[in-house]
Structure 1
Amino acid sequence: MFVIIICVAIVVFMPLIAKIPVAIKMSQAGGYDNKYPRKQQATLGGLGERALAAHQNCYEAIAYFAPTVILVMALDEHTVNTVQLSLVFVIARLCYLVCYWANWDKVRSAFWLIGMATIIGHYWLLLA
């Protein structure tokens, strides 16, 4: 269960990792506007715009992953398979970030699909 908890922590804090390039691009665009950061973020293009989308998508990923692993832990169904699925989800999400930043859209979509497949795999195991 320790590995699953670490995976949850990584997923929960992943938006902070994804925010780093956004903050860098905001700083390069005339300085980080702490009074109106969302207004400034809306003007970003290229890497800054993609990094912002990746940052926002990280929050969406929490909404899928967290309830899934909470069910796994609450039902005491953590197994080698659920640990592996959690690890694959985290790795896929990290690769997803890199692909978003690099503008590799098709590869990014493949990593998104892998991540979602792990969520389906968790429910498959829970219902089996």
Structure 2
Amino acid sequence: MSLSTAYWCVLIAALLPYLWLAVAKASAPRYDNRDPRGWVARQEQPRLKRAYNAHLNALEAFAPFAAGVVLAQLAGVPVERIAGLSIAFVVLRVLHGVAYVGDLALLRSLAWFGAFGCVVALLAQAALSVA
């Protein structure tokens, strides 16, 4: 594995929120591009709401992950460790979104905690490497 693997994972993580947004928009008729947030607020379809919430959660998760990758690289954390944690993060975040849309609450929570653990590990490894 190379550092480019982690960078590809950052790109994938940056795009994931838009995947879940596309699922949300496709889950209900007559999407209104003039008032997208109002349109979402007026919808009653549970799948749409879950997909939109997966979108918001993916946006929240992206910044700490990207920061963790960059800081780990700058701190000299071994490339294989950065790449491995990055791949695990992306796999867990995809699983999180699928579980969110599919209304699998326990699996969603487990995937969230696993992905969060990857971010914590990246940041902790960075801190330990410069200590």
TM-score (normalised: structure 1): 0.91
* 1:6 is the counterpart of 2:5: no
CA RMSD of aligned residues (A): 1.3
The residue aligned with 1:91 is 91
Q: How many residues end up aligned between the 2 structures?
A: 125
Specify the alignment match of 1:19 in structure 2: 21
- Give secondary structure in 2 for the equivalent of 1:34: coil
SS at structure 2 position matched to 1:33? coil
The within-5 A match list for 1:48-87 is: 48-87=48-87
The aligned residue for residue 35 of structure 1 is 34
**CA–CA distance in structure 2, aligned partners of residues 38 and 76 of structure 1:** 42
SS of 2:11's equivalent? helix
Q: How many angstroms does 1:123 deviate by?
A: 2.4
Shift of 1:66: 1.0
Distance 1:61 1:111 in 2: 12
Q: Percent identity?
A: 26
Unaligned regions of 5+ residues in structure 1, if any? none
Q: Is the 8 Å Cα contact of residues 17 and 58 (structure 2) preserved in structure 1?
A: yes
SS at match of 1:77: coil
CA shift, 1:79, in A, is: 2.2
- Counterparts of 2:124 and 2:34, CA distance in 1: 46
State the shift of 1:77 in Å.
Answer: 2.5
Could you state the TM-score of these two structures normalised by the residue count of structure 2? 0.89
After TM superposition, give the deviation of residue 25 of structure 1 in Å: 2.2
- Give a deviation string over 1:90-110, Cα, whole Å, max 9, x none: 000000000000000111000
C-alpha displacement of 1:117 = 0.7
